[in-house]
Amino acid sequence: MPKLDSLQKLYGSELQVIMVTKDPLKLVLPFIQKYERLHHVKWTIPVVVNDTVLHQYFRHWYEPHYAWLAPENRLVAQSSFFFLNKDIVKAYLKQLPEELVRTGYTTDSITKN
């Protein structure tokens, strides 16, 4: 969670981290509360619990498993924890607009400052 939280803060509105689990709230909530207590931090990452839909759309090659979605909700990558760091996220965000046009996901020519 610290890595995800720091990436979310670093990239602000350019990145939205959402955790998804099949586990019910009665299992997830005690975990979050214990985490907050032990680390003296407030949990800030949204969590989807009791998931029955998203797990059907993404093969889980790794645990934890990360699905990278473009703003248009298109799957652009899947990775393990090892490929989740600020340099890779920065490169992804920089390249994303051009890649969406190149692959035909959008016809808009998007440029970032």
Tell me, yes or no, if the pTM score tops 0.85: no
Domain boundaries, the chain: 1-57, 59-113
- Tell me: the pLDDT tens digits for 30-59? 999 999 999 999 999 999 999 999 888 887
What's the pLDDT at 113? 46
Torsion of CA 8, 12, 14, 19, to 10 degrees: 30
Closest CA to 55 of 88, 85, 78: 78
- Tell me: the pLDDT tens digits for 81-113? 888 888 888 888 888 777 666 766 666 655 444
The answer to whether 21 and 48 are in contact (CB under 8 A) is yes
Distance CA 92, CA 83 (A): 11
Q: Is the pLDDT of residue 4 over 50?
A: yes
Residue type, 76: V
pLDDT above 90 as % of the chain: 28
